[in-house]
Amino acid sequence: MSSPREHSLTTSHKLEYGYKRSLGPVLSRFFTGIRDRKILGARRADGTVIVPPKEYDPDTSAALDELTPVGPGGVVKSWAWVSEPRRQQPLDRAFAYALIQLDGADTSFLHVVDAKEESAMNTGMRVVAAWSDQATGAITDLSFVPESKNSREDAN
Amino acid sequence: MSEEANEPIEVLRLPVELEYQYTAGESASRFLRAIKRGKLLGQRCPVDGRVYFPTRGCCPQHGVPMADDGSVELPDVGTLVTYSIVRIPSENIPLDLPYVTIQVLLDGADTVMMHVLGECALEDVHMGMRLKAKWKPEEEWESSVGNILYFVPQDEPDAPYDSYKEHI
């Protein structure tokens, strides 16, 4: 005869891979720039600027090593509102993921706009970089906020 | 990283995390409750009588349910079937290097379990060694195979190769 059934045991598990990525010469300069509160793009032979920088030109495959500062302001080209952020997302409050074309750049940069409310977002709006107090050299050192008269002054 | 404030950033840490609740199910729960009492529970297949360790819900070979009363208590002694000497550290494994991971065939079982070997010089490790579990103090037992700290070589002749060759 079977013994009376007991309930199943349950426990919490955490699966974790502690990856480290070697950045290489170009992205190393990009992330060092982030720590130093500068956003760098890579200049191509035709003068256009790719942000974030790539090691090689996506069309000609030529090695890229000229980095140039862009931003800190830019234009939102497209966006999606995240009303209920998950724990590992960049902010603990509602925010927008946006494609941002920074001033001086010719491509859009996927990043975060800390806009407080969805109604504050629109395509074509100007945003400006806001830096976290802790400069660690991670992409999360940075977020963007809607550009206001005040934020323009901060940026200057 | 503030102490490296002027060094270039050359490496990015990108941990991938998955946190979840694991429910053991009836059969594994029976095994885990038993090991909390210091007992090792296997389960006998009703078709061919092979003993699987730990207990599981059904026989993986015949696909038939394993009844509760097919449980078999196994001794904490067995044979080292195969092993590997580990010399590379891993953040989630708190063992001093080098250490030896082993597959142990408990006496009476037809499947092996993975564990580590202790109290044995590296040059003495070999297949067929007879082993016994070294348990944590009883007051520290929980529902975990970690109640066994490691296996220790026994002062007895090696098991004959034929007794464990199908498990290599």
Nearest CA in chain B to A133: B2
Nearest residue, CB atoms, A8 vs list B1, B9, B29: B29
User: Which residues of chain B does A22 touch, with a Cβ-Cβ cutoff of 8 Å?
Assistant: 10-11
Nearest residue, CB atoms, B143 vs list A9, A14, A18: A9
Q: Where are the domains positioned within chain A?
A: 24-155
ipTM of the shown complex: 0.70
Inform me whether the pLDDT recorded for B60 exceeds 80: yes
Identity of residue B83: Y
pLDDT at B17: 85
Q: Is B155 on the interface with A (CB under 8 A)?
A: no
Q: Is A86 on the interface with B (CB under 8 A)?
A: no
Inform me whether the pLDDT recorded for A135 exceeds 80: yes
Q: If DSSP codes are grouped into helix, strand and coil, which group holds residue A81?
A: strand
Q: Is A7 on the interface with B (CB under 8 A)?
A: yes
pLDDT at A93: 95
**B5 — pLDDT class (breaks 50, 70, 90):** low
Q: Is A35 on the interface with B (CB under 8 A)?
A: yes
Q: Where are the domains positioned within chain B?
A: 23-74, 76-168
- Using a pLDDT cut of 70, give the percent of chain A over it: 91
Query: Which residue in B54, B47, B48 sits closest to B72, CA to CA?
Result: B54
Q: If DSSP codes are grouped into helix, strand and coil, which group holds residue A151?
A: helix
Q: For B24-47, what is the mean pLDDT?
A: 92
Inform me whether the pLDDT recorded for A98 exceeds 60: yes
CA distances from A64 to A27, A47, A57, B52 (A): 11, 12, 6, 59
Inter-chain CB proximity A20 and B13 less than 8 Å = yes
Q: Is B92 on the interface with A (CB under 8 A)?
A: yes
Q: Is A4 on the interface with B (CB under 8 A)?
A: no
Q: For B117-130, what is the mean pLDDT?
A: 96
Tokens encoding B149: 């700290």
CA angle A81/A74/B14 to nearest 5° reads 60
Inter-chain CB proximity A28 and B13 less than 8 Å = no
- The mean-pLDDT minimum among A77-86, A132-141, B38-47, B126-135 falls in A132-141
- Å between A97 CA and nearest CA of chain B: 20
| CB pairs A-B closer than 8 Å | 94
**Interatomic CA distance for residues A121 and A125, integer angstroms:** 7
Identity of residue B133: A
Paired strand residues for A96: A81, A113
CB B112 within 8 Å of CB B104: yes
pLDDT at A4: 55
Q: For B39-57, what is the mean pLDDT?
A: 91
Element (H, E) at A97: strand A95-102
Identity of residue A73: G
User: Which residues of chain B does A67 touch, with a Cβ-Cβ cutoff of 8 Å?
Assistant: none
User: Which residues of chain B does A11 touch, with a Cβ-Cβ cutoff of 8 Å?
Assistant: 21-22, 24
Nearest residue, CB atoms, A32 vs list B8, B29, B69: B8
Average pLDDT, chain A: 90
Query: Which residue in B75, B76, B95 sits closest to B85, CA to CA?
Result: B95
**A2 — pLDDT class (breaks 50, 70, 90):** very low
- Å between B83 CA and nearest CA of chain A: 25
Return all residues near B131 (Cβ < 8 A) that are at least 6 apart: B77, B78, B79, B80, B102, B104, B117, B151, B152, B153, B154
Higher-confidence residue of B152 and A6: namely B152
Query: Can you give the three-state secondary structure of chain B, one letter per residue?
Result: CHHHCCCCCCEEEEEEEEEEEEECHHHHHHHHHHHHCCCEEEEECCCCCCEECCCCCECCCCCCECCHHHEEEECCEEEEEEEEEECCCCCCCCCCCCEEEEEEEECCCCCCEEEEECCCCHHHCCCCCEEEEEECCHHHCCCCHHHEEEEEECCCCCCCHHHCHHHC
**Interatomic CA distance for residues B51 and B55, integer angstroms:** 9
pLDDT digits (tens, 9 = 90+) for A6-56: 788 998 888 888 888 899 999 999 999 999 999 999 999 999 999 999 999
Q: For B128-155, what is the mean pLDDT?
A: 96
**A102 — pLDDT class (breaks 50, 70, 90):** very high
Inform me whether the pLDDT recorded for B117 exceeds 70: yes
Higher-confidence residue of B76 and A21: namely B76
Inform me whether the pLDDT recorded for A5 exceeds 80: no
Element (H, E) at A79: strand A73-82
Inform me whether the pLDDT recorded for B3 exceeds 50: no
